[in-house]
Structure 1
Amino acid sequence: MQNVFKTVALIGKYQSPEVSDAVLRLALFLRERDCEVLIEQGTASATGVGAGFCIAAFDQIGERADLAIVLGGDGTMLTAARRLASHGVPLAGVNQGRLGFLTDIPREEMFEHVGEILAGRARRDTRMLLDAEVIRAGERVFQTTALNDAVVSKGEIGRLMEFELHLDGEFVYRQRSDGIILCTPTGSTAYAMSANGPILHPGVTGIALVPLCPHALTHRPITVSDDCQIEIVVQAPHDARIHFDGQSRFDARAGDRLRVRRADHVVTLLHPPGYSYYSILREKLHWSAAPRLP
Protein backbone atom coordinates (compact mmCIF):
# COMPACT_ATOMS: atom_id res chain seq x y z
CA MET A 1 0.00 0.00 0.00
CA GLN A 2 1.40 3.37 -1.01
CA ASN A 3 2.05 5.88 1.77
CA VAL A 4 0.70 9.43 1.57
CA PHE A 5 3.47 10.55 3.95
CA LYS A 6 7.03 9.67 2.94
CA THR A 7 9.05 11.29 5.72
CA VAL A 8 7.76 10.94 9.28
CA ALA A 9 9.20 12.53 12.42
CA LEU A 10 8.76 11.02 15.88
CA ILE A 11 8.60 13.29 18.92
CA GLY A 12 8.38 11.66 22.35
CA LYS A 13 7.79 12.69 25.92
CA TYR A 14 11.14 12.97 27.66
CA GLN A 15 12.24 10.71 30.51
CA SER A 16 9.58 8.02 30.07
CA PRO A 17 10.55 4.33 29.67
CA GLU A 18 7.17 3.55 28.10
CA VAL A 19 7.68 6.26 25.50
CA SER A 20 11.19 5.02 24.72
CA ASP A 21 9.84 1.59 23.87
CA ALA A 22 6.95 3.01 21.85
CA VAL A 23 9.24 5.33 19.86
CA LEU A 24 11.52 2.45 18.91
CA ARG A 25 8.68 0.12 17.93
CA LEU A 26 6.95 2.81 15.89
CA ALA A 27 10.21 3.79 14.16
CA LEU A 28 10.74 0.17 13.08
CA PHE A 29 7.11 -0.05 11.93
CA LEU A 30 7.52 3.08 9.80
CA ARG A 31 10.74 1.78 8.31
CA GLU A 32 8.95 -1.41 7.30
CA ARG A 33 6.40 0.80 5.54
CA ASP A 34 9.26 2.40 3.53
CA CYS A 35 9.05 5.72 5.37
CA GLU A 36 12.10 7.84 6.10
CA VAL A 37 12.13 8.23 9.89
CA LEU A 38 13.38 11.32 11.73
CA ILE A 39 13.84 11.17 15.51
CA GLU A 40 13.56 14.57 17.20
CA GLN A 41 16.88 15.54 18.76
CA GLY A 42 15.70 15.88 22.36
CA THR A 43 13.67 12.69 22.08
CA ALA A 44 16.69 10.74 20.86
CA SER A 45 18.84 12.11 23.68
CA ALA A 46 16.30 11.39 26.41
CA THR A 47 15.11 7.98 25.23
CA GLY A 48 18.31 6.56 23.79
CA VAL A 49 16.47 5.77 20.56
CA GLY A 50 18.31 7.01 17.52
CA ALA A 51 20.93 4.51 16.41
CA GLY A 52 20.31 3.77 12.75
CA PHE A 53 17.85 6.64 12.34
CA CYS A 54 18.25 10.26 11.31
CA ILE A 55 18.34 12.66 14.29
CA ALA A 56 16.76 16.04 13.56
CA ALA A 57 16.11 19.33 15.38
CA PHE A 58 12.66 20.89 15.18
CA ASP A 59 13.69 23.26 12.37
CA GLN A 60 14.98 20.33 10.34
CA ILE A 61 11.77 18.42 10.99
CA GLY A 62 9.82 21.45 9.78
CA GLU A 63 11.83 21.54 6.56
CA ARG A 64 11.84 17.79 5.80
CA ALA A 65 8.92 15.99 7.43
CA ASP A 66 5.55 15.33 5.81
CA LEU A 67 4.09 14.24 9.15
CA ALA A 68 5.09 14.41 12.83
CA ILE A 69 3.81 11.82 15.29
CA VAL A 70 3.86 12.81 18.96
CA LEU A 71 4.11 10.09 21.59
CA GLY A 72 3.26 11.48 25.01
CA GLY A 73 0.59 13.62 26.60
CA ASP A 74 -1.06 16.87 25.63
CA GLY A 75 1.91 18.84 26.96
CA THR A 76 4.25 17.14 24.50
CA MET A 77 1.79 17.89 21.70
CA LEU A 78 1.57 21.55 22.73
CA THR A 79 5.35 21.92 22.47
CA ALA A 80 5.53 20.20 19.10
CA ALA A 81 2.58 22.17 17.72
CA ARG A 82 4.12 25.54 18.60
CA ARG A 83 7.53 24.58 17.23
CA LEU A 84 6.18 23.25 13.91
CA ALA A 85 3.20 25.55 13.25
CA SER A 86 5.11 27.95 11.01
CA HIS A 87 6.26 24.99 8.85
CA GLY A 88 2.77 23.60 8.31
CA VAL A 89 3.69 20.03 9.29
CA PRO A 90 0.55 18.06 10.30
CA LEU A 91 0.64 16.23 13.63
CA ALA A 92 -0.86 13.03 14.99
CA GLY A 93 -0.75 12.05 18.66
CA VAL A 94 -0.35 8.71 20.44
CA ASN A 95 -1.52 9.04 24.03
CA GLN A 96 1.20 8.15 26.53
CA GLY A 97 -0.03 10.64 29.13
CA ARG A 98 -3.18 11.08 31.20
CA LEU A 99 -6.16 12.81 29.57
CA GLY A 100 -5.11 12.92 25.94
CA PHE A 101 -7.47 15.49 24.43
CA LEU A 102 -4.91 16.17 21.68
CA THR A 103 -3.07 12.85 21.63
CA ASP A 104 -6.12 10.79 20.81
CA ILE A 105 -4.65 7.55 19.39
CA PRO A 106 -4.70 4.85 22.11
CA ARG A 107 -1.27 3.28 22.58
CA GLU A 108 -2.78 -0.21 22.21
CA GLU A 109 -4.03 0.70 18.70
CA MET A 110 -0.97 2.68 17.62
CA PHE A 111 0.07 0.57 14.62
CA GLU A 112 -3.45 0.19 13.27
CA HIS A 113 -4.26 3.91 13.37
CA VAL A 114 -0.84 5.11 12.20
CA GLY A 115 -1.21 2.72 9.25
CA GLU A 116 -4.58 4.30 8.43
CA ILE A 117 -3.06 7.79 8.60
CA LEU A 118 -0.18 6.77 6.31
CA ALA A 119 -2.72 5.43 3.83
CA GLY A 120 -4.46 8.82 3.70
CA ARG A 121 -7.56 7.88 5.67
CA ALA A 122 -7.06 10.51 8.37
CA ARG A 123 -9.44 13.28 9.36
CA ARG A 124 -7.85 16.75 9.24
CA ASP A 125 -8.58 19.19 12.03
CA THR A 126 -7.28 22.78 11.96
CA ARG A 127 -6.64 24.57 15.26
CA MET A 128 -5.94 28.26 15.83
CA LEU A 129 -2.98 29.63 17.80
CA LEU A 130 -2.61 32.78 19.87
CA ASP A 131 0.12 35.32 19.20
CA ALA A 132 1.04 37.11 22.44
CA GLU A 133 3.39 39.98 23.23
CA VAL A 134 4.16 42.07 26.30
CA ILE A 135 4.66 45.82 25.83
CA ARG A 136 6.60 47.82 28.46
CA ALA A 137 7.04 51.58 28.09
CA GLY A 138 6.15 51.33 24.42
CA GLU A 139 8.66 48.58 23.65
CA ARG A 140 8.01 44.88 23.09
CA VAL A 141 9.87 42.91 25.76
CA PHE A 142 8.41 39.43 25.18
CA GLN A 143 6.70 37.53 22.37
CA THR A 144 5.47 33.95 22.01
CA THR A 145 2.66 31.78 20.66
CA ALA A 146 0.23 29.50 22.48
CA LEU A 147 -2.09 26.73 21.34
CA ASN A 148 -4.07 26.45 24.58
CA ASP A 149 -4.01 29.69 26.52
CA ALA A 150 -2.35 32.75 27.98
CA VAL A 151 -2.94 33.06 31.73
CA VAL A 152 -2.43 36.29 33.65
CA SER A 153 -2.14 35.50 37.36
CA LYS A 154 -1.26 37.16 40.64
CA GLY A 155 1.90 35.07 40.84
CA GLU A 156 3.32 34.58 44.30
CA ILE A 157 1.40 37.31 46.11
CA GLY A 158 -1.30 36.23 48.55
CA ARG A 159 -3.88 38.80 47.48
CA LEU A 160 -5.88 39.89 44.46
CA MET A 161 -4.28 41.66 41.52
CA GLU A 162 -5.92 44.36 39.42
CA PHE A 163 -5.98 44.81 35.66
CA GLU A 164 -7.85 46.53 32.85
CA LEU A 165 -9.32 44.73 29.85
CA HIS A 166 -9.42 46.43 26.45
CA LEU A 167 -10.89 44.88 23.27
CA ASP A 168 -9.91 46.41 19.92
CA GLY A 169 -8.78 49.52 21.79
CA GLU A 170 -12.05 49.94 23.69
CA PHE A 171 -12.06 49.87 27.50
CA VAL A 172 -14.28 47.01 28.75
CA TYR A 173 -13.73 46.76 32.51
CA ARG A 174 -11.33 47.00 35.41
CA GLN A 175 -11.19 43.85 37.49
CA ARG A 176 -9.79 42.70 40.83
CA SER A 177 -9.23 38.94 40.81
CA ASP A 178 -6.61 36.20 40.85
CA GLY A 179 -6.19 36.82 37.11
CA ILE A 180 -7.73 35.88 33.79
CA ILE A 181 -7.40 33.09 31.20
CA LEU A 182 -7.43 33.87 27.47
CA CYS A 183 -8.00 30.57 25.70
CA THR A 184 -8.55 29.12 22.25
CA PRO A 185 -11.21 26.46 21.59
CA THR A 186 -8.41 23.89 22.01
CA GLY A 187 -7.58 25.34 25.44
CA SER A 188 -11.21 25.54 26.54
CA THR A 189 -11.00 21.97 27.89
CA ALA A 190 -7.80 22.72 29.83
CA TYR A 191 -7.26 25.21 32.69
CA ALA A 192 -10.17 27.40 31.55
CA MET A 193 -12.64 24.56 32.06
CA SER A 194 -11.46 24.24 35.67
CA ALA A 195 -12.31 27.92 36.13
CA ASN A 196 -15.90 27.36 34.90
CA GLY A 197 -15.17 28.62 31.41
CA PRO A 198 -17.20 27.48 28.38
CA ILE A 199 -16.22 24.49 26.25
CA LEU A 200 -15.73 25.75 22.70
CA HIS A 201 -15.95 23.34 19.79
CA PRO A 202 -12.73 23.47 17.69
CA GLY A 203 -14.79 24.83 14.80
CA VAL A 204 -15.77 27.92 16.79
CA THR A 205 -13.85 31.01 15.72
CA GLY A 206 -13.51 32.66 19.09
CA ILE A 207 -11.34 33.32 22.12
CA ALA A 208 -12.76 32.83 25.61
CA LEU A 209 -11.91 35.24 28.45
CA VAL A 210 -12.34 33.48 31.79
CA PRO A 211 -11.82 35.39 35.09
CA LEU A 212 -10.01 33.64 37.94
CA CYS A 213 -11.83 34.14 41.26
CA PRO A 214 -13.09 37.67 40.51
CA HIS A 215 -13.99 39.86 43.50
CA ALA A 216 -17.51 40.39 42.10
CA LEU A 217 -20.24 37.90 41.31
CA THR A 218 -21.13 39.72 38.10
CA HIS A 219 -17.83 39.06 36.29
CA ARG A 220 -18.60 36.18 33.92
CA PRO A 221 -16.65 34.47 31.11
CA ILE A 222 -17.09 36.03 27.69
CA THR A 223 -16.21 34.75 24.22
CA VAL A 224 -15.00 37.26 21.63
CA SER A 225 -14.32 37.01 17.92
CA ASP A 226 -11.00 35.52 16.84
CA ASP A 227 -10.18 38.70 14.91
CA CYS A 228 -10.33 40.76 18.11
CA GLN A 229 -7.18 42.23 19.67
CA ILE A 230 -7.18 41.69 23.41
CA GLU A 231 -5.14 43.85 25.77
CA ILE A 232 -4.63 43.29 29.49
CA VAL A 233 -3.02 46.18 31.39
CA VAL A 234 -1.53 45.33 34.81
CA GLN A 235 -2.46 48.00 37.34
CA ALA A 236 -0.22 49.42 40.07
CA PRO A 237 0.85 48.54 42.67
CA HIS A 238 0.55 44.90 41.57
CA ASP A 239 2.89 42.85 39.42
CA ALA A 240 1.72 39.72 37.60
CA ARG A 241 2.93 36.47 36.15
CA ILE A 242 1.87 35.45 32.65
CA HIS A 243 1.94 31.79 31.60
CA PHE A 244 1.64 30.47 28.05
CA ASP A 245 0.36 26.89 27.59
CA GLY A 246 1.62 26.26 31.12
CA GLN A 247 5.12 25.86 29.68
CA SER A 248 6.66 29.32 29.43
CA ARG A 249 6.18 32.41 31.55
CA PHE A 250 6.92 36.10 31.81
CA ASP A 251 7.05 38.15 35.00
CA ALA A 252 5.12 41.34 34.26
CA ARG A 253 5.31 44.65 36.09
CA ALA A 254 2.65 47.23 36.83
CA GLY A 255 1.92 49.12 33.65
CA ASP A 256 2.86 46.23 31.31
CA ARG A 257 0.42 45.48 28.51
CA LEU A 258 -0.28 41.93 27.33
CA ARG A 259 -1.58 41.97 23.77
CA VAL A 260 -3.12 38.80 22.35
CA ARG A 261 -4.54 38.12 18.90
CA ARG A 262 -5.05 35.17 16.60
CA ALA A 263 -1.75 34.00 15.13
CA ASP A 264 -1.17 33.91 11.39
CA HIS A 265 -0.27 30.20 11.51
CA VAL A 266 -2.54 27.28 12.34
CA VAL A 267 -1.91 23.75 13.60
CA THR A 268 -3.23 20.77 11.63
CA LEU A 269 -4.06 17.66 13.65
CA LEU A 270 -4.66 14.29 11.99
CA HIS A 271 -7.17 11.93 13.59
CA PRO A 272 -7.83 8.28 12.69
CA PRO A 273 -11.09 7.29 10.94
CA GLY A 274 -14.06 7.38 13.26
CA TYR A 275 -12.72 10.24 15.37
CA SER A 276 -15.43 12.25 17.12
CA TYR A 277 -14.85 15.35 19.25
CA TYR A 278 -17.98 14.59 21.24
CA SER A 279 -16.83 11.03 21.83
CA ILE A 280 -13.58 12.42 23.24
CA LEU A 281 -15.57 14.67 25.59
CA ARG A 282 -17.72 11.75 26.74
CA GLU A 283 -14.67 9.61 27.40
CA LYS A 284 -12.39 12.18 29.05
CA LEU A 285 -15.04 14.03 31.04
CA HIS A 286 -17.06 10.92 31.92
CA TRP A 287 -20.27 12.27 30.42
CA SER A 288 -23.16 9.77 30.51
CA ALA A 289 -21.31 7.65 33.05
CA ALA A 290 -23.51 5.92 35.61
CA PRO A 291 -23.34 7.56 39.05
CA ARG A 292 -21.30 5.75 41.65
CA LEU A 293 -23.26 4.10 44.41
CA PRO A 294 -22.26 4.91 47.99
Structure 2
Amino acid sequence: MTEFRAALAGDDGTLRDAVEAAGGVVVDGAADPDAVVTMGERALVDTVLDDPAAPVLPVDAGGGPHAVQRVDAETALEALAAGRSRTESRATLSVTVDGDRRARAVLDATLMTAEAARISEYAVSAGADGEPIARVRSDGVVVATPAGSSGYARAAGGSVLTPGTGLSVVPVSPFATTADTWVVADEAVVRVERDDCDVRLIVDGEVAGVVPPKADIRVAVDGHVPFLRAPPATGWSRSRR
Protein backbone atom coordinates (compact mmCIF):
# COMPACT_ATOMS: atom_id res chain seq x y z
CA MET A 1 0.00 0.00 0.00
CA THR A 2 1.31 3.48 -0.89
CA GLU A 3 2.40 5.49 2.13
CA PHE A 4 0.07 8.35 3.00
CA ARG A 5 1.82 11.72 2.68
CA ALA A 6 0.58 14.81 4.51
CA ALA A 7 1.76 18.41 4.53
CA LEU A 8 0.95 20.34 7.72
CA ALA A 9 0.02 23.95 8.51
CA GLY A 10 -0.38 25.54 11.94
CA ASP A 11 0.68 22.34 13.71
CA ASP A 12 1.67 22.35 17.38
CA GLY A 13 2.86 18.74 17.23
CA THR A 14 -0.61 17.21 17.40
CA LEU A 15 -0.95 16.70 13.65
CA ARG A 16 2.53 15.26 13.17
CA ASP A 17 1.85 12.72 15.92
CA ALA A 18 -1.54 11.86 14.38
CA VAL A 19 -0.09 11.41 10.88
CA GLU A 20 2.66 9.12 12.15
CA ALA A 21 0.24 7.14 14.33
CA ALA A 22 -1.92 6.63 11.23
CA GLY A 23 1.06 5.15 9.40
CA GLY A 24 1.69 8.22 7.27
CA VAL A 25 4.63 10.54 6.76
CA VAL A 26 4.88 14.32 7.02
CA VAL A 27 6.25 16.03 3.89
CA ASP A 28 6.80 19.53 2.63
CA GLY A 29 3.94 21.18 0.79
CA ALA A 30 6.00 21.16 -2.41
CA ALA A 31 6.66 17.39 -2.17
CA ASP A 32 3.40 16.20 -3.77
CA PRO A 33 1.39 15.47 -0.60
CA ASP A 34 -1.87 13.52 -0.60
CA ALA A 35 -3.44 16.07 1.74
CA VAL A 36 -2.72 19.37 3.48
CA VAL A 37 -3.82 19.11 7.11
CA THR A 38 -4.38 22.41 8.91
CA MET A 39 -4.73 23.21 12.61
CA GLY A 40 -6.99 26.13 13.54
CA GLU A 41 -9.00 28.64 11.51
CA ARG A 42 -6.09 30.95 10.68
CA ALA A 43 -4.00 28.12 9.23
CA LEU A 44 -7.02 26.94 7.24
CA VAL A 45 -7.64 30.38 5.76
CA ASP A 46 -3.99 31.02 4.92
CA THR A 47 -3.61 27.57 3.34
CA VAL A 48 -6.73 27.81 1.17
CA LEU A 49 -5.87 31.30 -0.08
CA ASP A 50 -2.34 30.16 -0.95
CA ASP A 51 -3.57 27.65 -3.57
CA PRO A 52 -2.85 24.37 -1.72
CA ALA A 53 -1.02 21.56 -3.48
CA ALA A 54 -3.55 18.93 -2.36
CA PRO A 55 -7.03 18.67 -0.83
CA VAL A 56 -7.33 20.29 2.61
CA LEU A 57 -8.37 18.55 5.83
CA PRO A 58 -9.21 21.21 8.45
CA VAL A 59 -8.66 20.27 12.11
CA ASP A 60 -9.84 22.35 15.07
CA ALA A 61 -11.24 25.03 12.76
CA GLY A 62 -14.60 25.66 14.40
CA GLY A 63 -17.82 23.68 14.35
CA GLY A 64 -19.81 22.41 11.44
CA PRO A 65 -19.34 19.47 9.10
CA HIS A 66 -16.23 20.83 7.36
CA ALA A 67 -13.84 20.50 10.32
CA VAL A 68 -12.47 17.65 12.39
CA GLN A 69 -12.09 18.19 16.11
CA ARG A 70 -8.58 17.89 17.53
CA VAL A 71 -9.43 14.71 19.47
CA ASP A 72 -10.58 13.04 16.24
CA ALA A 73 -7.52 13.94 14.14
CA GLU A 74 -5.84 10.54 14.36
CA THR A 75 -9.04 8.66 13.49
CA ALA A 76 -9.70 10.94 10.52
CA LEU A 77 -6.14 10.54 9.25
CA GLU A 78 -6.37 6.76 9.57
CA ALA A 79 -9.48 6.90 7.38
CA LEU A 80 -7.67 9.08 4.82
CA ALA A 81 -4.68 6.76 4.76
CA ALA A 82 -7.00 3.79 4.16
CA GLY A 83 -8.77 5.55 1.30
CA ARG A 84 -12.02 6.02 3.23
CA SER A 85 -12.52 9.69 2.42
CA ARG A 86 -14.21 11.91 -0.12
CA THR A 87 -13.46 15.28 -1.64
CA GLU A 88 -15.83 18.25 -1.54
CA SER A 89 -15.44 21.49 -3.45
CA ARG A 90 -15.55 24.58 -1.22
CA ALA A 91 -15.97 28.16 -2.42
CA THR A 92 -13.60 31.06 -1.93
CA LEU A 93 -14.76 34.66 -2.09
CA SER A 94 -13.65 37.93 -3.60
CA VAL A 95 -14.57 41.05 -1.61
CA THR A 96 -14.68 44.37 -3.49
CA VAL A 97 -15.61 47.89 -2.42
CA ASP A 98 -17.04 49.92 -5.32
CA GLY A 99 -15.22 47.66 -7.75
CA ASP A 100 -11.84 47.76 -6.01
CA ARG A 101 -10.75 44.39 -4.69
CA ARG A 102 -10.19 44.64 -0.95
CA ALA A 103 -9.64 41.02 0.12
CA ARG A 104 -10.37 37.35 -0.42
CA ALA A 105 -12.21 35.13 2.03
CA VAL A 106 -12.62 31.47 2.88
CA LEU A 107 -15.16 31.70 5.71
CA ASP A 108 -16.98 35.05 5.78
CA ALA A 109 -17.01 38.78 5.18
CA THR A 110 -18.76 41.08 7.66
CA LEU A 111 -19.78 44.72 7.79
CA MET A 112 -19.90 45.87 11.41
CA THR A 113 -20.37 49.20 13.15
CA ALA A 114 -17.15 50.26 14.85
CA GLU A 115 -18.92 51.20 18.10
CA ALA A 116 -20.95 48.75 20.16
CA ALA A 117 -24.75 49.06 20.07
CA ARG A 118 -24.76 51.59 17.21
CA ILE A 119 -27.27 50.80 14.48
CA SER A 120 -26.65 51.37 10.77
CA GLU A 121 -28.94 50.77 7.81
CA TYR A 122 -27.94 48.33 5.07
CA ALA A 123 -29.37 47.47 1.66
CA VAL A 124 -28.87 43.86 0.61
CA SER A 125 -29.10 42.55 -2.95
CA ALA A 126 -28.18 39.33 -4.71
CA GLY A 127 -26.62 38.26 -8.00
CA ALA A 128 -24.71 40.10 -10.68
CA ASP A 129 -27.84 42.05 -11.60
CA GLY A 130 -28.24 43.34 -8.02
CA GLU A 131 -31.73 42.03 -7.33
CA PRO A 132 -32.90 43.83 -4.14
CA ILE A 133 -33.57 41.59 -1.14
CA ALA A 134 -34.11 43.89 1.82
CA ARG A 135 -33.13 46.95 3.79
CA VAL A 136 -32.24 46.25 7.39
CA ARG A 137 -31.24 48.27 10.43
CA SER A 138 -28.67 46.33 12.38
CA ASP A 139 -25.19 46.33 13.91
CA GLY A 140 -23.93 44.69 10.74
CA VAL A 141 -24.33 42.04 8.04
CA VAL A 142 -22.30 38.86 7.56
CA VAL A 143 -21.94 36.93 4.29
CA ALA A 144 -20.59 33.40 4.79
CA THR A 145 -19.57 30.45 2.64
CA PRO A 146 -20.82 26.99 3.65
CA ALA A 147 -17.45 26.46 5.39
CA GLY A 148 -18.01 29.64 7.40
CA SER A 149 -21.76 29.28 7.92
CA SER A 150 -21.28 27.37 11.19
CA GLY A 151 -19.29 30.24 12.72
CA TYR A 152 -20.28 33.87 13.23
CA ALA A 153 -23.15 33.64 10.73
CA ARG A 154 -24.76 30.85 12.72
CA ALA A 155 -24.24 32.70 15.99
CA ALA A 156 -26.10 35.63 14.41
CA GLY A 157 -29.05 33.37 13.52
CA GLY A 158 -28.17 31.97 10.10
CA SER A 159 -28.45 28.40 8.84
CA VAL A 160 -25.53 26.00 8.49
CA LEU A 161 -25.09 25.31 4.77
CA THR A 162 -23.86 22.19 3.02
CA PRO A 163 -21.28 22.55 0.23
CA GLY A 164 -22.57 24.00 -3.01
CA THR A 165 -25.78 25.46 -1.60
CA GLY A 166 -24.82 29.14 -1.85
CA LEU A 167 -23.90 31.92 0.56
CA SER A 168 -25.52 32.70 3.90
CA VAL A 169 -26.46 36.37 4.43
CA VAL A 170 -27.36 37.28 8.01
CA PRO A 171 -28.07 40.61 9.76
CA VAL A 172 -26.15 41.01 13.02
CA SER A 173 -28.30 42.13 15.98
CA PRO A 174 -31.08 43.56 13.79
CA PHE A 175 -33.33 46.30 15.14
CA ALA A 176 -36.48 44.20 14.72
CA THR A 177 -38.48 41.67 16.71
CA THR A 178 -38.24 39.24 13.80
CA ALA A 179 -35.54 39.28 11.15
CA ASP A 180 -35.01 37.37 7.95
CA THR A 181 -31.83 35.66 6.86
CA TRP A 182 -31.10 34.69 3.26
CA VAL A 183 -29.27 32.15 1.12
CA VAL A 184 -28.08 33.52 -2.23
CA ALA A 185 -26.53 31.58 -5.09
CA ASP A 186 -23.02 32.97 -5.47
CA GLU A 187 -22.98 36.74 -5.00
CA ALA A 188 -24.27 39.28 -2.49
CA VAL A 189 -24.00 43.06 -2.44
CA VAL A 190 -24.31 45.04 0.78
CA ARG A 191 -24.51 48.83 0.83
CA VAL A 192 -24.32 51.07 3.88
CA GLU A 193 -27.32 53.34 3.40
CA ARG A 194 -26.91 55.21 6.67
CA ASP A 195 -24.23 55.06 9.34
CA ASP A 196 -24.06 56.73 12.73
CA CYS A 197 -20.40 55.78 13.07
CA ASP A 198 -17.69 54.08 11.03
CA VAL A 199 -18.53 50.70 9.49
CA ARG A 200 -15.67 48.21 9.32
CA LEU A 201 -15.15 45.46 6.79
CA ILE A 202 -13.96 42.29 8.56
CA VAL A 203 -12.76 39.39 6.40
CA ASP A 204 -12.14 35.98 7.97
CA GLY A 205 -11.81 37.63 11.37
CA GLU A 206 -9.37 40.37 10.34
CA VAL A 207 -10.23 44.04 9.79
CA ALA A 208 -9.84 45.03 6.13
CA GLY A 209 -10.58 48.73 6.56
CA VAL A 210 -13.54 51.10 6.84
CA VAL A 211 -16.17 51.33 4.11
CA PRO A 212 -17.87 54.60 3.11
CA PRO A 213 -21.64 55.12 2.93
CA LYS A 214 -23.29 54.29 -0.43
CA ALA A 215 -20.40 52.06 -1.49
CA ASP A 216 -21.26 48.65 -2.94
CA ILE A 217 -19.52 45.87 -1.00
CA ARG A 218 -19.69 42.91 -3.34
CA VAL A 219 -18.98 39.43 -1.95
CA ALA A 220 -18.82 36.85 -4.74
CA VAL A 221 -17.58 33.32 -5.31
CA ASP A 222 -14.29 33.54 -7.20
CA GLY A 223 -13.04 29.95 -7.08
CA HIS A 224 -13.14 26.57 -5.38
CA VAL A 225 -10.71 24.49 -3.34
CA PRO A 226 -11.05 20.75 -2.57
CA PHE A 227 -11.67 19.83 1.07
CA LEU A 228 -11.43 16.32 2.48
CA ARG A 229 -14.13 14.62 4.52
CA ALA A 230 -13.28 11.44 6.42
CA PRO A 231 -15.40 9.39 8.83
CA PRO A 232 -16.24 9.63 11.63
CA ALA A 233 -17.69 13.14 11.29
CA THR A 234 -17.72 13.65 15.04
CA GLY A 235 -16.53 17.24 14.73
CA TRP A 236 -20.19 18.13 14.11
CA SER A 237 -22.08 15.52 16.10
CA ARG A 238 -20.13 15.90 19.32
CA SER A 239 -20.33 19.67 19.33
CA ARG A 240 -24.14 19.51 19.26
CA ARG A 241 -24.65 16.97 22.07
Q: Per the shorter chain, which TM-score range?
A: 0.7 to 0.9
Residue 253 of structure 1 aligns with an amino acid whose one-letter code is: P
Q: Give the match's secondary structure for 1:189.
A: coil
Structure 2 residue aligned with 1:176, among 113, 137, 149?
Answer: 137
- Displacement of 1:218: 4.8
Residue 105 of structure 2 aligns with an amino acid whose one-letter code is: A
- Displacement of 1:240: 0.9
Is 1:151 the counterpart of 2:110 in the alignment?
yes
**What corresponds to 1:53 in structure 2?**
none
The Cα offsets for residues 37-69 of structure 1, whole Å up to 9 and x where unpaired, read as 11xxxxxxxxxxxxxxxxxxxxxx368544211
- Identical-residue share of aligned pairs (%): 25
**What corresponds to 2:238 in structure 1?**
283
Structure 2 residue aligned with 1:89, among 54, 74, 91?
Answer: 54
Residue 201 of structure 1 aligns with an amino acid whose one-letter code is: T
**What corresponds to 1:16 in structure 2?**
none
- Displacement of 1:259: 0.5
Structure 2 CA distance for aligned equivalents of residues 218 and 93 of structure 1 = 35
User: TM-score, with normalisation over the residues of structure 2?
Assistant: 0.81
- The higher-RCO structure (CA 8 Å, 6+ apart) is 2
Contact 2:63 2:150 in 1 (8 A): no
- Displacement of 1:176: 1.7
Structure 2 residue aligned with 1:195, among 151, 156, 161?
Answer: 156
**What corresponds to 2:227 in structure 1?**
269
Contact 1:88 1:268 in 2 (8 A): no
Equivalences for 1:46-65 in 2 at 5 Å? Answer: 61=29, 64-65=32-33
Structure 1 CA distance for aligned equivalents of residues 14 and 134 of structure 2 = 50
- Displacement of 1:36: 6.5
Residue 133 of structure 1 aligns with an amino acid whose one-letter code is: T
More helix by share: 1
Is 1:124 the counterpart of 2:87 in the alignment?
yes
Structure 1 residue aligned with 2:36, among 65, 68, 72?
Answer: 68
Which structure has the larger Rg over C-alpha atoms?
Answer: 1
Alignment CA distance shift 1:62-1:211 (3 Å): farther
Structure 2 CA distance for aligned equivalents of residues 258 and 109 of structure 1 = 37
Structure 2 CA distance for aligned equivalents of residues 99 and 170 of structure 1 = 32
User: What stretches of structure 1 of length at least 5 have no aligned partner?
Assistant: 14-18, 39-60, 287-294
Deviates more, 1:185-194 or 1:234-243: 234-243
Residue 189 of structure 1 aligns with an amino acid whose one-letter code is: S
Q: Give the match's secondary structure for 1:10.
A: strand
Residue 136 of structure 2 aligns with an amino acid whose one-letter code is: Q
Alignment CA distance shift 1:217-1:118 (3 Å): same
Contact 1:73 1:99 in 2 (8 A): no
Structure 1 CA distance for aligned equivalents of residues 73 and 185 of structure 2 = 38
Alignment CA distance shift 1:223-1:261 (3 Å): same
Alignment CA distance shift 1:285-1:113 (3 Å): closer
Alignment CA distance shift 1:161-1:123 (3 Å): same
Structure 2 residue aligned with 1:205, among 165, 180, 184?
Answer: 165
Aligned length: 237
- Displacement of 1:122: 1.9
- Displacement of 1:104: 0.8
Contact 1:74 1:102 in 2 (8 A): no
